[in-house]
Amino acid sequence: MQGRVLLMITGGIAAYKACFLARLLQQAGFSVRCAMTDAAQKFVGPVTLRALTGQPVATDLWGEGQSEALDHVEYALWADLVVVAPATANFVAKAAHGIADDMVSTLLLASPCPVLVAPAMNDNMWRHPATQANCATLRERGVHLVGPGSGWLACGTVDEGRMSEPEEILQAVKDLAATIELRPDETPSLSGPWAGRRVIVTAGPTQEAIDPVRAVVNRSSGAMGYALAAAACAAGAEVTLISGPVDRLAPRGLKQHLKVGNAQEMAEAVAASLDGGCDWLLMAAAVADFRPATAADAKLKKNELGETWRLDLVRNPDILKEIVPDHRSDDTVVVGFALETGDVVNAAQAKLQEKKLDFVLANDPTQAGSGFGDTAHQVTLVDPDGVVWESESLPKPLLAVHILDRLEAARHGAGA
Ligand code: CTP
């Protein structure tokens, strides 16, 4: 069995049973991610579900690091089916009326896939005409309901309203899953080899001031570096993202996001971050090799510059070559990027030797499907012995996941 289940947990005492349900679903072969309401978190901590599923738990629509990756779209589109267990009377009412005022109800509204709801509430709440009408609305809309059953309720009575047992819900999920197309889950797990690894990623260009309004920059969107940072976060790494000026949202779950302007600032940020301890340095930034010899304090006026203008440039520090060796530890794996045209592999290997890198990810921007601004990209992973892996042309977020897999394998000598 494969398939991706988004398990939504709302605030009832039966929330603790959702932990068993998550386990049962995994044992049945489903990939599980969780979303929890504030009330659900009064009964069970998200840390428990995160540990069980190996994935971040969607909780807060607005909280630090949560809204940026637009979880309500990402998790909703990831799922093959949604299970709401337990579903409180309040949540059933919100679902019936399309209210989206927190992470879980917003995710539900954004989920185009089949939905299975396991109500759990006090017997009077269950029998209330409002709840019954809401359940009827959901059924008419194609939502599947399982339970509630009868038994001991938290309020001390024995009656209808008790959430179906996890085994029963699992069976209902399997029945529903048999009727739809299921996809494998390619997300790396938080318990995988990147979990807890300290990763520094640099991304974007650096901007070298000519005057307050002009600058020398490299062309770089930052997409690859941000995708690597996002993939490393999703894989459970502790990620510090050092970014030049780009217009991008930070990936969810970063440990640190250091925004820098020019190459010297990036060099300082890399040195300080390496000093704090680092297992992997992924140097994806397009650092400007030169900067203006002097940056004018006031805007240079074109009439004063004349018809031609010579700009004196001086070399910036080569961060990988001149800064990293004094701050890395022997265990830090250093990965450089090389943008090359022509004999890409030889040029990448020369760069690897010159800068004493463990790996280089090389690419040729003149190749179709790998150019500036292309969303898809092709890379060649090179180590001191030669080519380790050549990727297909893939969208950068997916390519980043493959790159991490290959780097981790190559580090242990299991290459292509
Ligand atoms: N890099 C760096 N410091 C610089 C320039 C580049 O650390 N001042 C890093 C980049 O982040 C990248 C790698 O070095 O990981 C290779 O960058 P690239 O621009 O391809 O190579 P250069 O060293 O600048 O060499 P050349 O311009 O001759 O190709």
Given a cut of 90, whether residue 376 has pLDDT beyond it is: no
Cα(253) to centroid of ligand 1, in Å? Answer: 28
285 lines ligand 1 (CB under 6 A): yes
pLDDT of residue 374: 60
Closest CA to 36 of 87, 93, 96, 89: 87
DSSP 153-176: -TTS-EEEEEPPPHHHHHHHHHHH
Q: What tens digit of pLDDT does each residue of 110-149 get?
A: 999 999 999 999 999 999 999 999 999 999 999 999 999 8
Considering the domain architecture, whether residues 206 and 74 belong to the same structural domain is answered as no
Considering the domain architecture, whether residues 289 and 345 belong to the same structural domain is answered as yes
190 found inside a domain: no
Considering the domain architecture, whether residues 149 and 48 belong to the same structural domain is answered as yes
Considering the domain architecture, whether residues 171 and 204 belong to the same structural domain is answered as no
Considering the domain architecture, whether residues 217 and 148 belong to the same structural domain is answered as no
281 found inside a domain: yes
Look at residues 177, 211, 239 and tell me which one is the last residue of a structural domain: 177
Q: Which of 207, 224, 289 to mutate to test the pocket of ligand 1 (most atoms within 8 A of CB)?
A: 289
Instruction: Please give the residue that has the higher pLDDT: either 134 or 65.
Output: 134
**Owning domain of residue 241:** 198-411
365 lines ligand 1 (CB under 6 A): no
To the nearest whole percent, how much of the chain has pLDDT over 70?
92
Given a cut of 60, whether residue 65 has pLDDT beyond it is: no
Mean pLDDT of 322-348: 94
323 lines ligand 1 (CB under 6 A): no
Nearest CA to ligand 1 atom 17: 338
Considering the domain architecture, whether residues 318 and 254 belong to the same structural domain is answered as yes
Beta bridge partners of 215: 209
134 lines ligand 1 (CB under 6 A): no
Considering the domain architecture, whether residues 275 and 383 belong to the same structural domain is answered as yes
10 lines ligand 1 (CB under 6 A): no
Nearest CA to ligand 1 atom 8: 318
Q: What is the CA radius of gyration of the chain?
A: 26
3 lines ligand 1 (CB under 6 A): no
92 lines ligand 1 (CB under 6 A): no
Considering the domain architecture, whether residues 173 and 202 belong to the same structural domain is answered as no
- To the nearest whole number, what is the mean pLDDT of the chain? 90
Beta bridge partners of 115: 82
Instruction: Please give the residue that has the higher pLDDT: either 254 or 375.
Output: 254
Can you give the pTM of this predicted structure? 0.65
Atom index in ligand 1 nearest the CA of residue 285 equals 11
Instruction: Please give the residue that has the higher pLDDT: either 182 or 8.
Output: 8
336 lines ligand 1 (CB under 6 A): yes
Distance CA 249, CA 375 (A): 16
182 found inside a domain: no
From the candidates 19, 113, 135, 155, give the one annotated as an active-site residue: 155
Q: What tens digit of pLDDT does each residue of 227-261 get?
A: 999 889 878 899 999 999 999 988 877 899 999 99
Considering the domain architecture, whether residues 349 and 233 belong to the same structural domain is answered as yes
Considering the domain architecture, whether residues 248 and 161 belong to the same structural domain is answered as no
261 found inside a domain: yes
What's the CATH code of the domain at 64? 3.40.50.1950
Cα(203) to centroid of ligand 1, in Å? Answer: 12
Query: Cα angle at 320 between 349 and 292, to 5 degrees?
Result: 115
Q: Which of 217, 274, 318 to mutate to test the pocket of ligand 1 (most atoms within 8 A of CB)?
A: 318
Count: domains in the chain: 2
Considering the domain architecture, whether residues 163 and 131 belong to the same structural domain is answered as yes
Given a cut of 90, whether residue 347 has pLDDT beyond it is: yes
Considering the domain architecture, whether residues 133 and 237 belong to the same structural domain is answered as no
188 found inside a domain: no
113 is catalytic: no
Confidence band (pLDDT; 50, 70, 90) for 153? Answer: low
Given a cut of 70, whether residue 188 has pLDDT beyond it is: no
193 found inside a domain: no
Nearest CA to ligand 1 atom 18: 338
205 found inside a domain: yes
Q: Scanning the structure block, which residue is given the tokens 């509630």?
A: 148
Look at residues 143, 177, 211 and tell me which one is the last residue of a structural domain: 177
Look at residues 111, 143, 177 and tell me which one is the last residue of a structural domain: 177
Closest CA to 16 of 85, 100, 71: 85
Q: Do the strands 207-209 and 215-217 form a parallel or antiparallel pair, or are they unpaired?
A: antiparallel
Instruction: Please tell me the least confidently modeled range out of 27-41, 124-138, 267-281.
Output: 27-41
Distance CA 228, CA 407 (A): 12
Instruction: Please tell me the least confidently modeled range out of 19-23, 72-76, 91-95, 289-293.
Output: 72-76
> Which helix (H) or strand (E) element contains residue 23?
helix 15-27
What's the CATH code of the domain at 300? 3.40.50.10300
Using CA atoms of 220, 222, 225, 229 in order, give the dihedral in degrees to the nearest 10. 170
pLDDT of residue 370: 59
Nearest CA to ligand 1 atom 20: 338
The half-sphere exposure of 115 on its side-chain side, counting CA atoms within 13 A, is 25
159 found inside a domain: yes
264 lines ligand 1 (CB under 6 A): no
Cβ count near 60 (within 10 Å)? 17
Q: Which two tokens stand for residue 254?
A: 């970063």
Atom index in ligand 1 nearest the CA of residue 316 equals 8
